[in-house]
Structure 1
Amino acid sequence: MRFVIIGAGRVGLRTARVLRDEDHEVTMVERDEPTRRRAREQGFTVVDGDGSREDVLEAAGIADADALGALTGDLNVNFTACMIGNHHGCRTVMRIDEAYREGIYRKYADQVDEVIYPERLGAIGAKNALLGGTIRAIADVAPHLQVVELTLTADAPVNGYTISELHLPADATVLAFGKGDGPLEIPTEDLSLEADDRLVVLADFDVLSEVRQLLVGETAERATANAGTGTSSAATELLEGDTDGGDN
C-alpha cells in the first residue's frame, strides 16, 4: 500500500518506519529543514512544504495514495490535509494534541476516518508502568471507553465463579480470557475464574471502578481513585511536557 505522512517529527517518523518495515511505500511531507533532513537520512522520500496545501500533497502523490496520516502538532494543518485527502479518496487519520475532551473528538471524528491522540496513548503506557500490579490499560477506543486487562486476585469477589456466573455492570463486557500465563482466548461459559487468571474487559469509564472491585478485589474508595476517568491526570501531565512542536 502507499501512504502519505504529513509531519516527519517523532510521531510521523515512527509511524513511517513501522509502515516501511511492513513493506509499504511511504512519502513524507515536512516544512522544517532539519526535521526533513533527518527523515531523508533514514531513507525516506520527503517533500518540502506545508501539508495543508493541495499542490504540496499532489507532489507527494496523494492522487495515488491509499491513506493519508496527518500527524503534525498543528491541528489546523492536520484537519486541512485530511479534507484534501478525502477529496482524493484516501483513508484519513488525524492526530490531535489538545486536551482530550469529547467535544473536540466529536467535532473531527465525523469528518475523518480516524482520530488519534499519541500523548494519551503514551500516558496509558506511563500509567501502566507507574501502577504495575494487576491492572493494565490497553487502549482508549472512544473518549468514554477503555480496554483494560485485569488479573484476578485471591481477594476478588468473583474468585471461583464461572464466566457464565460473572455479571459485570451493564456498560462493561469481557473480550478475552487467559488462564494464568496462558494465551488470551475467547472465553467459554464454563471456564472457572481463579487467582492469576486474566480478563480483558471493554468498559465505560463510569463503571471501571465497579469492574476493578469485582475482578481485583479493591475497596470501593481505592477502585474509584485508580479508575479515575481513564488515564491518571499525573501521568497525562508527565506526557504533556513531551509533545511535538510545529510539525514534529
Structure 2
Amino acid sequence: MRFVIIGAGRVGLRTARVLRDEGHEVTLIEQDEAMIRRARSQEFPVVEGDGSREDVLEDAGITDADALGALTSDLNVNFTACMIANHYGCRTIMRIDEAYREGIYRKYADEVDEVIYPERLGAIGAKNALLGGTIRAIADIAPHLQVVELTVSNGAPVNGYTMGELQLPADATILAFGKRDQPLEIPNADLSLEDGDRLVVLADFDVLNEVRQLLVGETPDEAASNAGTDATSGTGGVN
C-alpha cells in the first residue's frame, strides 16, 4: 500500500518507519529543515512544503495513495489536509493534541476516518504498566467507549459460569475470549470461565466498573479507582 504522512516529527517519523518495515511505500511531507534532513537520512522520500496545500499533496502522490496520515501538531493543517485527501478517495487519519474533550472529538470524528491522540495512546500503555495484573486497556473507540482485556480471577463472581450464562450490562459486549495461555478466539457459549481466562470487552465507561467487578472480582471501590476519575465524567477512563 501507499501512504502519505504529513509531519516528520516524533509521531510521523515513527509511523513511517513501522509502515516501511511492513513493506509499504511511504512519502513524508515536512516544512522544518532539520526534520527533513533527519527523514532523508533515514532514506525516506520527503516533499518539502505545507501539507494543507493541494499542490504539495499532489507532489507527494496523494492521487495514488491509499491513505493519508495528517500527523503534525497543527490541528488546522491536519484537518485541511484530510479534507483534500478525502476528495481523492484516501482513507484519512488525523492527529489531535489538545486535551481529550468530547467536543473536540465529535467536531472532527464525522469528517475523517480516524482521529488519533498520541498522548492518550501513550497514557493507555502507562496505565497498563502501573495497574498490571488483570486489567489491560486496549483502545479508546470514542470518548465514552473503551476496549479492555480482563483476566478472570479466582474470586470473580462469574468464575465457573459458562459463556452462555454470562450476562454483562446492556452497554458492554464480549468481542473475544481466550483460555489461560491460549490464543483469543470468538466466544463459544459452552466454554466455562475459569481463573486466568481472558475476555476482550467493548464497554461504555458508565458500565466499565460493573464489568470489572463481575469479571475480575474487584470491589466497587477498587473498580472505581482503577477506572480513573474521568470514567465518571464521560471524558475517558485512561488518564
* Superposition TM-score tier, normalisation by shorter sequence: over 0.9
* Mapping of residues 172-183 of structure 1, within 5 Å: 172-183=172-183
In the alignment, structure 1 segments of 5+ residues that lack a partner are: 234-248
- Verify: 1:42 aligned to 2:42, yes or no: yes
Q: Which has the higher contact order (CA 8 A, sep 6+)?
A: 1
SS at match of 2:169: coil
User: Within 1, Cα distance between the matches of 2:111 and 2:223?
Assistant: 36
The 5 Å alignment of 1:73-88 reads 73-88=73-88
Name the SS for the 1:69 alignment partner. Answer: strand
Q: Once superposed, what is the RMSD of the aligned Cα atoms?
A: 1.2
Residue correspondence of structure 1 range 199-238 to structure 2 within 5 A: 199-228=199-228, 229=231, 230-233=236-239
User: Relative to 1, partners in 2 of residues 1:36 and 1:231: Cα closer, same or farther, differing over 3 Å?
Assistant: farther
The Cα shift of 1:187 comes to 1.4
CA shift digits 1:124-161 (9 cap, x unpaired): 00000011011000111111111111111111011111
Q: Does 1:159 align with 2:159?
A: yes
CA offsets 1:183-212 (integer angstroms, 9 cap, x no match)? 111111111111111111111111010001
C-alpha contact 2:5 2:16 (8 A) present in aligned 1: yes
| Structure 2 CA distance for aligned equivalents of residues 155 and 136 of structure 1 | 18
Question: How far does the alpha carbon of each residue in 1:71-130 deviate from its partner, in whole angstroms, 9 at most, with x for none?
Answer: 001101100111111222222111111111121111111111111111111110000001
Q: Equivalents in 2 of 1:142, 1:232: separation in Å?
A: 12
- Is this contact kept in 2: 1:72–1:95, CA < 8 A? yes
The answer to which of 107-116 and 124-133 deviates more is 107-116
- Contact 1:123–1:231 (CA under 8 A) maintained in structure 2: no
Deviation of 1:66 after TM superposition, in Å, equals: 1.8
For 2:238 and 2:68, locate their aligned partners in 1 and report how far apart those are by CA, in whole Å: 31
1:245 matched residue in structure 2: none
How is 1:126-205 mapped onto 2 (pairs within 5 angstroms)? 126-205=126-205
Write the distance in 2 (CA, Å) between the matches of 1:178 and 1:64: 40
Measure, in 2, the Cα distance between the counterparts of 1:111 and 1:170. 29
* Residue 22 (structure 2) aligns with: 22
User: 1:187 is matched by which residue type in structure 2?
Assistant: P
Q: Give the letter aligned to residue 225 of structure 1.
A: S
TM-score, normalised via structure 2 length: 0.94
Equivalent residue pairs, number: 233
